[in-house]
Amino acid sequence: MTETLTLAKIKQAFGASLIEAHSQLGHDTVVISKSAILDVARMLKTDPELQYNYLMDLTAVDYWKRNPRFEVVYHLYSLANNQRLRVKAPLGGNEPEIDSLTSLWAGANWFEREVYDMFGIRFKGHPDLRRILLYPEFEGHPLRKDYPITKRQPLIGPKV
Rounded distance, CA 135 to CA 138, Å? 6
CATH topology of domain 5-124: Beta Polymerase; domain 2 (3.30.460)
The pLDDT of residue 17: 97
Rounded distance, CA 11 to CA 23, Å? 13
Alpha helices in 63-134 (DSSP H): 108-119
Which has the minimum average pLDDT: 19-28, 55-64, 100-109? 19-28
**Cβ neighbours of residue 43 under 8 Å, at least 6 residues apart?**
9, 10, 13, 14, 50
Please tell me whether the peptide bond between 154 and the residue prior to it is cis, using omega within 30 degrees of 0. no
Mean of pLDDT values over 8-16? 97
Coil, helix or strand for 99?
strand
pLDDT tens readout for residues 38-79: 999 999 999 999 999 999 999 999 999 999 999 999 999 999
83-91 vs 70-78, strand pairing mode: antiparallel
pTM to 2 decimals? 0.92
Rounded distance, CA 118 to CA 132, Å? 9
Mean of pLDDT values over 26-32? 94
The enclosing H or E element of 142 equals: none
Label residue 103 by pLDDT band (50, 70, 90).
very high
The pLDDT of residue 12: 97
